[in-house]
Amino acid sequence: MIFPDRVILEKDVKKMLKRIEQDSDTKKIAIGYSFTNEALDLLKDYSFNVFTISNFVWSDEDYKEVKGGDSNNL
Protein backbone atom coordinates (compact mmCIF):
# COMPACT_ATOMS: atom_id res chain seq x y z
CA MET A 1 0.00 0.00 0.00
CA ILE A 2 1.28 3.45 -0.86
CA PHE A 3 -0.29 6.33 1.00
CA PRO A 4 -0.44 10.04 0.09
CA ASP A 5 2.15 12.62 1.14
CA ARG A 6 0.72 13.49 4.58
CA VAL A 7 0.17 12.08 8.06
CA ILE A 8 -1.80 8.84 7.81
CA LEU A 9 -4.48 8.24 10.44
CA GLU A 10 -5.94 4.94 11.60
CA LYS A 11 -9.11 5.62 9.58
CA ASP A 12 -6.99 5.89 6.42
CA VAL A 13 -5.45 2.47 7.06
CA LYS A 14 -8.86 0.91 7.78
CA LYS A 15 -10.20 2.30 4.52
CA MET A 16 -7.27 0.89 2.55
CA LEU A 17 -7.45 -2.51 4.28
CA LYS A 18 -11.03 -2.89 3.03
CA ARG A 19 -9.75 -2.52 -0.55
CA ILE A 20 -7.09 -5.23 -0.52
CA GLU A 21 -7.12 -8.99 -0.23
CA GLN A 22 -5.87 -10.23 3.15
CA ASP A 23 -3.63 -13.17 2.25
CA SER A 24 -1.52 -14.15 5.27
CA ASP A 25 1.25 -15.66 3.09
CA THR A 26 1.78 -12.51 1.03
CA LYS A 27 4.48 -10.02 2.03
CA LYS A 28 2.79 -6.73 2.86
CA ILE A 29 4.41 -3.31 2.73
CA ALA A 30 2.97 0.10 3.63
CA ILE A 31 4.77 3.26 2.50
CA GLY A 32 3.83 6.73 3.67
CA TYR A 33 5.10 10.09 4.80
CA SER A 34 4.14 9.62 8.47
CA PHE A 35 1.74 7.34 10.34
CA THR A 36 0.01 7.93 13.67
CA ASN A 37 0.61 5.42 16.46
CA GLU A 38 -2.85 3.97 15.92
CA ALA A 39 -2.24 3.55 12.19
CA LEU A 40 1.10 1.84 12.86
CA ASP A 41 -0.46 -0.52 15.41
CA LEU A 42 -3.16 -1.52 12.94
CA LEU A 43 -0.63 -2.13 10.17
CA LYS A 44 1.47 -4.25 12.54
CA ASP A 45 -1.66 -6.24 13.50
CA TYR A 46 -1.95 -7.13 9.81
CA SER A 47 1.78 -7.97 9.55
CA PHE A 48 2.77 -5.05 7.32
CA ASN A 49 6.35 -3.88 7.00
CA VAL A 50 6.12 -0.09 7.29
CA PHE A 51 8.38 2.48 5.65
CA THR A 52 8.06 6.18 6.47
CA ILE A 53 9.78 9.38 5.39
CA SER A 54 9.23 11.10 8.73
CA ASN A 55 9.78 9.42 12.08
CA PHE A 56 7.80 12.03 14.03
CA VAL A 57 5.44 10.27 16.46
CA TRP A 58 1.77 11.30 16.41
CA SER A 59 -1.41 9.96 17.93
CA ASP A 60 -4.67 10.45 16.03
CA GLU A 61 -5.75 12.89 18.78
CA ASP A 62 -2.47 14.85 18.72
CA TYR A 63 -2.72 15.29 14.98
CA LYS A 64 -6.36 16.32 15.23
CA GLU A 65 -5.50 18.98 17.84
CA VAL A 66 -2.60 20.38 15.81
CA LYS A 67 -4.70 20.57 12.65
CA GLY A 68 -7.51 22.26 14.61
CA GLY A 69 -10.33 20.00 13.63
CA ASP A 70 -11.96 16.64 13.71
CA SER A 71 -9.69 13.94 12.27
CA ASN A 72 -12.70 12.63 10.34
CA ASN A 73 -12.50 15.74 8.19
CA LEU A 74 -8.76 15.51 7.53
Q: What percent of the chain has pLDDT over 90?
A: 51
Query: Which domain covers residue 25, as residue numbers?
Result: 7-59
On whether residue 73 sits in a domain, the answer given is: no
CB 54 within 8 A of CB 33: yes
On whether residue 66 sits in a domain, the answer given is: no
Burial class (CB in 10 A: 0-12, 13-18, 19+), 4: exposed
On whether residue 11 sits in a domain, the answer given is: yes
Q: What is the DSSP letter of 46?
A: T
On whether residue 25 sits in a domain, the answer given is: yes
Total domains in the fold of the chain: 1
Helix (H) or strand (E) holding 49: strand 48-52
On whether residue 68 sits in a domain, the answer given is: no
Tell me which residue of 70, 27, 34 sits closest to 52, measured CA to CA.
34
pLDDT tens-digit map of 36-55: 999 999 999 999 999 999 98
On whether residue 74 sits in a domain, the answer given is: no
On whether residue 65 sits in a domain, the answer given is: no
Question: Which of the two residues, 6 and 37, has the higher pLDDT score?
Answer: 37
Rounded-to-integer distance, Cα 17 and Cα 1, Å: 9
